[in-house]
Amino acid sequence: MSSTKRYFEQPSRFSDAEWHARQDLAAMYRIFAYLKWDESIYNHISLRVPGEDNHYLINPFGLHYSEVTASNLVKVDLKGNIVGHSDWPINPAGFTFHSAIHDKVEGAHCVMHVHTTPTLAVCCLEEGISFSNFYSAQIYNKVAYHDFEGITLHMDEGQRILDSADGKPILMLRNHGPVVMGGTLAQAFALMWLVNRACEVQMASMSMGKVRKIPEEICKKCTAASLPLDPKYGAGEDVFAAMKRIIEKQDPSYKQ
């Protein structure tokens, strides 16, 4: 028991708040791997460090999501400079638009980006997300689009991405993949869940024939009633907690 406790002991260089955030973010990377939302060593989830407005945590470039731990997450500033010690670099393509969003979008404490097959496929469609299923109806009027400009290596694209988002929490990068912005890690996860499931169902239904659209007034009702979006119901905290319990049983090493 004592050796296990030491194994997960909090390093003195991290505050309690930062260590808690690191453990939660590492758990989220493991959850993404469990759900097959990972993309080899690519893509990103970034999270603001509590109490440090201009510092963020992001995955070490070179590690699979299943290898991410609380201590090996990398702290960076808004320019992508590593703050403190890190054994790993970050992917420069990863923080180009993350930094712009964190800097300019009030309340965007967590930013997630994936390349799952269903979400990327829908980003390649001219119409984008079809408001024709249970999941997409919950994100009606929450989705924006940004035209593909190539690999996101250039900082000046960050402002154009912000302009395209226009305050919406879900941005579909055309021909590329979705970006979600949440006030918390759990809320961003809840949004990404809805996006991914909406796209999965859309792919399946489009393969069968003409898709029946949901009337706008019903979509508006669904979005207003969506539990993952409602802080009264934790805005995804209960789902995040449940998924963390699964990861904990599989491999608690994310905590170290």
Q: What is the pLDDT of residues 101-128, one digit of tens each?
A: 999 998 999 999 999 999 999 999 999 9
Cα 84 to Cα 34: distance, rounded to the nearest angstrom: 30
Over residues 118-144, the mean pLDDT reads 97
Q: Report helix, strand or coil for 246.
A: helix
Compute how many other C-beta atoms are within 10 angstroms of the C-beta atom of residue 35. 16
DSSP H helical ranges for the chain:
2-7, 16-34, 92-104, 117-123, 157-165, 185-206, 216-225, 237-250
Please tell me the predicted confidence (pLDDT) of residue 154: 80
The one-letter amino acid at 223: T
Concatenate the DSSP letters of all residues of 105-171 into one string.
STT--EEEE---HHHHHHHTSSS-S-S-STTGGGGTT-EEEE---SSS--TTHHHHHHHHHTT-SEE
CATH code of 181's domain: 3.40.225.10
Owning domain of residue 212 = 2-255
Query: For 125-155, b where at least 16 C-beta lie within 10 A, e where not — what string?
Result: beebbbbbbebbbbbbebbbbbeebeebeee
pLDDT of residue 97: 84
Residues composing the chain: 256
Termini Cα distance of the chain = 15
Residue 92 has pLDDT above 90, yes or no: no
Q: Please say whether the beta carbons of 13 and 84 come within 8 A.
A: yes
Q: Which tens digit of pLDDT belongs to each residue from 38-78?
A: 999 999 999 999 999 799 999 999 999 999 999 999 999 99
249 pLDDT higher than 80: yes
Closest to 135 (Cα-Cα) out of 205, 207, 43, 185: 205
Phi then psi dihedrals of residue 113, to 5 deg: -140, 130
Q: What's the structural domain count of the chain?
A: 1
Comparing CA positions, the residue from 151, 148, 129 lying closest to residue 140 is 129
Prediction pTM value: 0.94
Residue 58: per-residue pLDDT? 97
| Mean pLDDT, residues 12-24 | 95
pLDDT of amino acid 4: 46
Backbone angles phi, psi at 116, to 5 degrees: -60, 150
Q: What angle do CA 152, 191, 241 make, to 5 degrees?
A: 115
pLDDT at 37: 98
Q: Does residue 5 register a pLDDT over 80?
A: no
